[in-house]
């Protein structure tokens, strides 16, 4: 039974819940499935499903998962925002649950943050595009105001 799409170097493959390749799939048809990529990701499909089950509120929002360095996941949400999780089954699940709780309170998904990094628990680092430029302009305006 089709479960997800595995990105290969030369094609997209429909895979079952255990990672077994079923058949090639077009990019257009692949959009309705979770996209899994990264060296060794095919062998981690079942573990990914367990991880996503830890935070059911987020599961439907995850559109992609990249297996990084044969040790951890980066998740991509339907908003194109990315979440970097720490390595280890328990640590990644705890980080995902923590992120789900923070999203429930602060509505992180869909906001101005492009990426979230939870590889250094309990901290979460956020990348907001253009934020440093806005801060610099604000500081310049304050300095100009002080000069007059």
Render pLDDT for 67-114 as a digit per residue (tens, 0 to 9): 999 999 999 999 999 999 999 999 999 999 999 999 999 999 999 999
Cα separation, 128 vs 148, whole angstroms: 32
Contact 140, 134 (CB under 8 A): no
* Helices marked H in 2-82: 27-30, 45-53, 56-59
Tokens linked to 34? 């979770």
Cα separation, 87 vs 99, whole angstroms: 15
Would the pTM count as exceeding 0.85?
Answer: yes
Alpha carbons within 13 A on the beta-carbon side of 96: 30
**Cα of 141 vs its chain's centroid, Å:** 36
Tokens linked to 57? 């509120």
């Amino acid at each position: 039974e089709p479960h997800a799409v595995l990105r290969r170097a030369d094609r997209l493959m429909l895979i079952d819940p255990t990672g077994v390749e079923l058949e090639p799939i077009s990019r257009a048809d692949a959009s309705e499935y979770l996209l899994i990529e990264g060296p060794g990701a095919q062998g981690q499909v079942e573990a990914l499903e367990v991880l996503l089950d830890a935070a059911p509120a987020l599961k439907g929002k995850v559109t992609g998962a990249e297996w990084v360095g044969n040790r951890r996941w980066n998740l991509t949400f339907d908003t194109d925002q990315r979440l970097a999780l720490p390595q280890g089954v328990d640590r990644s699940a705890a980080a995902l649950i923590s992120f789900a709780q923070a999203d429930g309170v602060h509505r992180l998904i869909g906001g101005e943050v492009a990426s979230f990094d939870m590889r250094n628990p309990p901290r979460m680092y956020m990348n907001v595009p253009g934020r440093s430029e806005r801060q610099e302009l604000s500081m310049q305006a304050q300095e100009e105001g002080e000069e007059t």
